[in-house]
Amino acid sequence: MPTQSVATPAPSSLEQLRSLAAQLRMDSIRCTTRAGSGHPTSSMSAADLMAVLMVEHLRYDWRNPRHPNNDRLIFSKGHACPLLYSMYKAAGVMSDDDLLRLRTLGSPLQGHPNPHVLPWVDVATGSLGQGLAIGVGMALNGKYVDFLPYRVWVLLGDSEMAEGSVWEAFDKASHYQLNNLIAILDMNRLGQRGPTDLGWNSGAYAARARAFGWRAIEINGHDISAIRDAYAEALRPNDQPVVVIAKTEKGHGVSFLANKDNWHGKALSIEEEKKAWAELGRPANLVIPVRQPENIQPSAGAVAVPLKLPAYALGTAQATRKAYGDALAALGGHYTDLVALDAEVSNSTHADEFKKAHPTRFFEMYISEQQLVSAAVGFGVLGKKAFASTFAAFFTRAYDQIRMAAISNATIRLVGSHAGVSIGPDGPSQMALEDLAMMRAVYASTVLYPSDPNQTARLVALMAQQPGISYMRTTREKTPVLYDPQEEFTIGGCKVLRQSGQDRLTIIAAGITLHESIKACAALAGDGIAARLVDLYSVKPIDKQTLRRAASETGNKLIVVEDHWPEGGLGDAVLEAFADSPAPRPLVCHLAVRNMPGSGTPAELMDAAGIDAAHIIQAAKAIL
């Protein structure tokens, strides 16, 4: 592993740094005044911190935002983006006219940073408490995967230090000795509605950081010399992450704003802007040449091998969660840029199969699901194929991180095991009954629910190439192998497992309930009732054409059966497939979990929920 190099600061003077800080403050005021909204005072408090960073330490190729050795800069306090945009102007990559289009329709300068529209933004922020956790993923990538000396700088607000996700990040950064991660805490004392939890108690923040194994440096955040010394100290070789705790004033530099309450998220009027000019001076329009990164490429890593997915013989049984782990291990040999993360349940999700095969690219996040997803985002935005797994129910803790990952334009793959009442005696706290609804609601997401181990392996391989947020739901129980190992599957497709010209209804299922539906179809056939059976393994996108054809050919009678609450899962996905159809709406019988389950055997719980073969048979006869 390379040692962390310490860059020699670019030649600069205190006067130049003070002038740049004043320009950043004034530009933050100007663009928010023009917009009539925004957060100028939150931007002004960190201007000195960012001026020194930009001039003396940031290494970044503005022409190539994806340069693998660029430093990364995350504004975790995303509402301070007027400061970030003012830095872009000072770097010469944005014009003053661009800056003054802040928050206008069609402008890339949105109310919070968004990588969909700005190439220099790595991740969306604005939902507080997530930037440092994403920075952990980026720092892990640099130190342990690419072996590059770039640094990850994260600007934190003091209000967001109340978020538990921040302390999950503090914990994991220390555990992995991320000496390439530098957090800058803008401790300006005032939150949205008044003082923050700790105010200016820098000693309390420092004690907490040190307790987590960080180096903590306390400074006056408006003393340019102190900032320079702090950054120099932060970059001295060590095996610890560093937090610079800077005491600042919200609205610093303008007397009627500095440390004044009730200015959060308020733009100045034109007259107030003129008063601010009198104290700060008009922008000097300085253009700062930022240091270039060293032209170092990522480590070559392991040699890729041809992909050979696991194969399971017809007539045997295997759990789809095990097939996920087996497939992931195979993919790790084929894709040397694939990383896997888990939340201390890898022997249940079977991500441990990847760990055994590729231990240097497996990252244990322990019971920190918010950090799990955020680290995956950090890897993903830097080009890695990141898979993250835990019990499906526990992804609910990280739903905001998943939602923000979509806004970040990130590509990550999430896999949730132990879904539904079919997990058996562990009880409802472990049973994911909301996950399909949750993941279907994510912007441009892909939601997969395989029923067979060969199908699972093929879909995991497709996930490795799928952009955006993809989610796979796996099953705890071993189930019979349904498909030949060579069977092909597509995202957005489904499989018709049983059909005839005499079909009188269609049964639609996925995962564990597909196997119950197979039993039900066989029993119905013995009673002279032919039923079509659809394996809806791709829940989103959904195969509208096959579903509509099945309905029209089977008397417009459908049964949807799922191990999930009735809201938002397979049933709603099927109904949406008919929403814009000109054909008559089908009659749909929806079997789902409708009462709070308890402990019991899988068979007992599925019977109690009304989603086993016997209840499917009963529903089929009733709908006819």
- pLDDT tens digit sequence for 405-435: 999 999 999 999 999 999 999 999 999 999 9
Please state the rounded mean pLDDT for residues 447-464: 98
Q: Is the pLDDT of residue 3 over 90?
A: no
283 confidence band (pLDDT: 50, 70, 90): confident
Which pLDDT belongs to residue 461? 98
- Over pLDDT 90: what percentage of the chain? 96
- Closest by Cα among 93, 154, 95, 96 to 289: 93
Residue 590, SS3? strand
- Tokens matching residue 13: 């003077």
Q: pLDDT tens for residues 521-564?
A: 999 999 999 999 999 999 999 999 999 999 999 999 999 999 99
CB proximity list for 252: less than 8 A, separation 6 or greater = 25, 44, 45, 47, 48, 188, 222, 258, 259
Which pLDDT belongs to residue 301? 79
- Which residue segments constitute the domains of the chain, with CATH numbers given? 15-280 (3.40.50.970), 317-480 (3.40.50.970), 495-623 (3.40.50.920)
- Closest by Cα among 386, 414, 411, 384 to 399: 414
89 confidence band (pLDDT: 50, 70, 90): very high
Average pLDDT, the chain: 96
- Tokens matching residue 10: 């670019």
Number of residues that make up the chain: 624
Bigger pLDDT: 556 or 5?
Answer: 556
Q: Is the pLDDT of residue 38 over 90?
A: yes
Q: Is the pLDDT of residue 404 over 90?
A: yes
Q: pLDDT tens for residues 313-342?
A: 999 999 999 999 999 999 999 999 999 999
- Closest by Cα among 286, 284, 573, 272 to 439: 573
Active-site residue, selected from the candidate residues 160, 218, 273, 369: 369
Which pLDDT belongs to residue 12? 73
Residue 289 burial class via C-beta count within 10 angstroms: exposed 0-12, middle 13-18, buried 19 and up: exposed
- Over pLDDT 70: what percentage of the chain? 98
Alpha-carbon distance values, 462 to 175, 339, 472 (Å): 33, 16, 11
DSSP one-letter code for 429: G
Alpha-carbon span 510 to 16, nearest angstrom:
64
Residue 210 burial class via C-beta count within 10 angstroms: exposed 0-12, middle 13-18, buried 19 and up: middle
Alpha-carbon distance values, 479 to 76, 341, 482, 483, 591 (Å): 45, 26, 9, 12, 20
4 confidence band (pLDDT: 50, 70, 90): very low
Q: Is the pLDDT of residue 401 over 80?
A: yes
Entry pTM: 0.95
Residue 410 burial class via C-beta count within 10 angstroms: exposed 0-12, middle 13-18, buried 19 and up: buried
* Exposure of 329 in the CB half-sphere (CA atoms within 13 A): 17
The answer to whether the CB of 377 falls within 8 A of the CB of 412 is yes
Which pLDDT belongs to residue 161? 97
Which pLDDT belongs to residue 282? 83
Number of H helices, E strands in the chain: 22, 19
| 434 in catalytic set | no
Alpha-carbon span 392 to 377, nearest angstrom:
18
Beta-strand ranges (E) seen in 167-220 are 181-187, 215-220
Residue-by-residue DSSP string for 433-468: SSHHHHHHTSTT-EEE--SSHHHHHHHHHHHTT--S
